[in-house]
Amino acid sequence: MTRFILPITLSALCVSTLAVAHTGVQNPAVLARMESMKVTQDSTKVLGAMVKGDVTFDAVIARAAAETIAKEAARTKSLFEGQETDPKSEALPTIWKDFDDFNAKSRDLYAVAAALSVSLETEEELRIGLGQIGGACKACHEAYRE
């Protein structure tokens, strides 16, 4: 039963959080990027809660969260191809100056999350994988996010 309740609760939380987090964003392309990043963040929180012991480890749910992260990472290039901006955006202009590096970083996140989504079986694998996901996110955010 928990396997069904947790994803439903998280989905409801995501929708309500998105409504508040992106208030005032006028550019639909920027909003789409922000929503994608929020989905990634929420899935990462699911994994983090398991690592911290706040939620019981469940390999199926963890693999699903990693799969969601991989899917969003795969969308990153297309979401950022246009040099769209908005006053609420946290994306730095350096993204488009070094788009190849930006894409390489999103591919790194994709590779880590995709591998985890098919191989994750233990809490230790989750702990290691979440560290890799966090490292990939940090590498991109340090270079390309305000």
Residues for the chain: how many in total?
146
CB contact burial 31-62 (16+ within 10 A = b; e otherwise) = bebbbbbbbbebbbbbbbbbbeeebebbeebb
Average pLDDT for consecutive 10-residue bins of the chain (146 residues)? Answer: 44 44 88 97 98 97 98 98 95 97 98 98 98 97 96
Instruction: Return the pLDDT at 34.
Output: 97
Task: Compute the distance between CA of residue 139 and CA of residue 66 in angstroms, rounded to an integer.
Answer: 18
The pLDDT of residue 21: 57
Q: What is the pLDDT of residue 8?
A: 38
Q: What phi, psi does 91 have (nearest 5°)?
A: -75, 130
Sequence-distant (6+) residues with CB within 8 A of 79 are: 29, 32, 33, 36
